Amino acid sequence: MTFTIEPITHKFDNEIQAIIDGKTKPLGALGQLETTAKAIARVQVTQSEQLARLVIKKPALIIFAGDHGVAAEGVSIAPSEVTGQMVANFATGGAAISVFCRQLGWDLSVVDAGILHKPSPELNVIDQHLGNITQPLHLQAAMTVETVKEGFSKAKSLISKTKKNGCNLIAFGEMGIGNTTSSSAIMAAVMNISAVETVGKGTGVSDDVVKKKQQVVEQALKLHADKLSDPIQLLACLGGFEIVQITGAMLAAAEDNMHVVVDGFTCTAAAMVAIQINPAVKDYMIFAHCSGEQGHQKMLTWLTVEPLLSLELRLGEGTGAALALPLIQASVAFYNDMASFEQASVTKVV
Kindly indicate whether the domain formed by 13-55+332-344 is annotated with CATH number 1.10.390.10.
no
* 326 or 294, higher pLDDT: 326
Q: Does residue 197 carry a catalytic annotation?
A: no
What is the 3 state secondary structure string of 286-338?
Answer: EECECCCCCCHHHHHHHHCCCCCECCCCCCCCCHHHHHHHHHHHHHHHHHHHC
Q: What number is the average pLDDT over the span 227-238?
A: 98
Residue 199 has pLDDT above 70, yes or no: yes
Q: Are 179 and 68 in contact (CB under 8 A)?
A: yes
Is residue 281's pLDDT more than 80? yes
**Catalytic one of 150, 255, 293, 317:** 317
- Evaluate if residue 205 carries a pLDDT over 80: no
Give backbone dihedrals phi and psi of 116, rounded to 5 degrees, phi first. -65, -45
pLDDT band at 112 (very low <50, low <70, confident <90, very high): very high
How many of the other CB atoms lie within 10 Å of CB of 115?
28
Q: What per-residue confidence (pLDDT) applies to 50?
A: 83
- Residue 47: the pLDDT is 78
Q: What is the 3-state secondary structure (H, E, C) of the chain?
A: CCCCCCCCCCCCHHHHHHHHHCECCCCCCCHHHHHHHHHHHHHHCCCHHHCCCCCCCCCEEEEEEECCHHHHHCCCCCCCHHHHHHHHHHHCCCCHHHHHHHHHCCEEEEEEEECCCCCCHHHCCEECCCCCCCCCCCCCCCCCHHHHHHHHHHHHHHHHHHHHCCCCEEEEEEECCCHHHHHHHHHHHHHCCCHHHCCCCCCCCCHHHHHHHHHHHHHHHHHCHHHCCCHHHHHHHHCCHHHHHHHHHHHHHHHCCCEEEECCHHHHHHHHHHHHHCHHHHHHEEECECCCCCCHHHHHHHHCCCCCECCCCCCCCCHHHHHHHHHHHHHHHHHHHCCEHHHHCCCCCC
- Please provide the average confidence, as pLDDT, over all residues in the chain: 95
Angle at 132 between CA 61 and CA 181, to 5 degrees: 70
For a pLDDT cut of 70, what percent of the chain falls above it? 99
Q: Where in the chain are all domains bearing CATH 3.40.50.10210? A: 60-327
259 phi, psi to nearest 5 deg: -80, 140
Statement: 60-327 belongs to CATH 3.40.50.720: no
**pLDDT tens figures, 125-184:** 999 999 999 999 999 999 999 999 999 999 999 999 999 999 999 999 999 999 999 999
- Whether the predicted pLDDT of 203 surpasses 70: no
pLDDT, tens digit (0-9, with 9 covering 90-100), for 85-106: 999 999 999 999 999 999 999 9
Residues 116, 177: contact at Cβ < 8 Å? no
Nearest to 314 by CA among 289, 332, 350, 340: 289
Going by pLDDT thresholds of 50, 70 and 90, the confidence category of residue 20 is: very high
The arithmetic mean of pLDDT across residues 5-9, rounded, is 94
Q: What percent of the chain has pLDDT over 90?
A: 89
Q: Where in the chain is the domain with CATH 1.10.1610.10?
A: 13-55+332-344
pTM for this model (two decimals): 0.96
Strand order in the sheet with 126-127: 126-127, 107-114, 60-66, 169-175, 259-262, 285-287
pLDDT category at 250 given cuts 50, 70, 90 is very high
Residue 293 — pLDDT band, cuts 50, 70, 90? Answer: confident
- 74-to-4, 177, 182, 257 alpha-carbon distances in Å: 40, 10, 13, 41
Average pLDDT over residues 27-34: 98
**What is the mean predicted confidence (pLDDT) over 267-282?**
98
- Report the DSSP pairing between strands 285-287 and 60-66: unpaired
Please report the pLDDT score of residue 247 as a whole number: 99
- The pLDDT of residue 202 is 63
Backbone angles phi, psi at 111, to 5 degrees: -120, 130
Q: Are 119 and 125 in contact (CB under 8 A)?
A: yes
